[in-house]
Chains A and B, each alone.
Chain A
């Protein structure tokens, strides 16, 4: 892969994916297959033929794994992801004083406003340079996902990136124990900015990984893989910087660990999160399992964290009115 597809190719791919699924549904209904299972739908993406009716043997072996039920098709997966990008892009845009154009926020569903956020007066020019890079990338992600989704794109939902008493970041950092009382203003210092960005970005990476397992169209999947990798670089940049600064400001490492534990407490009993402190001789910049591979979160698990709620709910935390789109209910974790 030496180039990314054009937006026209992506639109074609999405349209093809939708059409293929519709054709499959028609064929499946003729054969009386029981539907309603995500993995089965996913299994049939890419079919170009209305006669590609699955055999009974196929349907019996295509029992979905229960974890793959969060996102029902490519379009829903992409819309789930753009909600995350709206959040992180607005956060970085506020911090770097580079607001998103209003034309990038429209779409289906109820468009919401951004609560909170203001420019950071960075002390370390390096952190300022990183922040501007992260802002530029996530702005590009919003635009790219919008180009993939076309008229199917959801509007930006209501977003809370506030550090005041009722702000989502304050609630998050209270929950994590980073603060015991009072407020947490992500825009007050380099350190607060880094911790807040870290809170969101690790979740985005795992959410992309989960969504990437459900997307069926190869062109769209390639595009999503490209964004997924960029988000992983973002997370690596933030974690490296927290770790390096943590050598002289140990609270950064401790707080990163507290945030990780809090995220883990929200998304269920499985260990899907790691802080940055490793052993005496090794860092832990990369959150990975025993095989060295990054973690996966289902959409429902990612929503637990964005909503700051381990229960099955449809809003709260960073998305006070919930995400826009079909995928908006957190898991009962």
Chain B
């Protein structure tokens, strides 16, 4: 929605969040005086870190472009409409438009997997549309996205690094089978959830918080679809579980030394426990900082600004992976 079209509830929520943000900003001051308070401009969308919400939403949009294109090509053979990948009139930060290349429709053997793919594709496209509508003029363009199957492409590189395939010329085709599609989807599945978990607590605007919570929950359902299906099919096709575990290990290597990723294989023993849900010991979902998300998307544990699935990097202001 644009500024001049906000429903009244949204405006009211915003007023509330402005106050919250004001006090949060004020934490850094030794004493907050009335004079200090009036020195700040508190108007619609003028609170201190409006920019960070925009930056964050644009970052989320970059990831949404990647996932929406992957699922829409896989499910329907077509990507996002041309009108859903362009920049607004005033994008912030890097803004180099690009195409999503190399993907194609999967001929699914299991109609269930086809139905899951179609559902997720529609949700991801809806997320792109909502984020673009909310960002309006500040929307960042879709960057170049590599969804291809070449030996030097992102999927093959990732699966080689994970040990799912071996040999410098080996290729991984996510569109060749249900199993490959599920493993490719698994590569991204938990990453979005882990990124959004951290965002819930830092996003400033109340409306945005509700949306970030909603997107996190939706993405968690998507991840659960992929993980549950790999786990269930893995009971008879054991490589699905071991390959998912290997991909998880790759993500963990890329994003730093802390354990923030888990595969799906069960515990051993007479009463095995599944691991569909990647959690810490306290039962909370694993979290990941934006830099770590980019380590995985760029397939690089170093501090870089492009590579992997985004050959020219992502657009916006959050563009650099962490140095791990």
Contact = CB atoms under 8 A, between A and B. Distances in A.
B288 A237 contact: no
A51 B221 CA distance: 44
B4 interface: no
B13 interface: yes
B229 A240 contact: yes
Contacts, number: 294
Interface string A271-299: 00000001001111111111111111000
A132 to B, nearest CB: 4
B15 A133 contact: no
- Interface range, B side: 35 or more
Contacts of A53: 34
Q: Is the interface of A mostly helix, strand, loop or mixed?
A: helix
Interface in A212-247: 212-213, 216, 218-219, 221-223, 225-230, 232-237, 239-241, 243-244, 247
A1 B20 contact: no
A4 B119 contact: no
A42 B288 CA distance: 27
A326 interface: no
A222 B198 contact: yes
- Interface range, A side: 35 or more
B112 interface: yes
B247 interface: no
Interface string B298-318: 000000000000000000000
A200 to B, nearest CB: 16
B37 interface: yes
B202 interface: yes
B161 interface: no
Interface string A253-281: 00000000000000000000000001001
A209 interface: yes
A233 B277 contact: yes
Interface string A3-17: 110000000000000
Contacts of A237: 224, 227-228, 276-277
A229 B284 contact: yes
B272 interface: yes
Interface of A: 1-4, 39-40, 42-49, 51-55, 57-58, 61-65, 125-126, 128-130, 132-133, 136-141, 143-144, 205, 209, 212-213, 216, 218-219, 221-223, 225-230, 232-237, 239-241, 243-244, 247, 278, 281-296
18 contacts: A39-B12, A42-B16, A47-B23, A47-B27, A133-B273, A144-B284, A209-B210, A213-B213, A226-B287, A236-B222, A240-B224, A282-B122, A283-B112, A286-B120, A286-B221, A288-B214, A292-B218, A294-B218
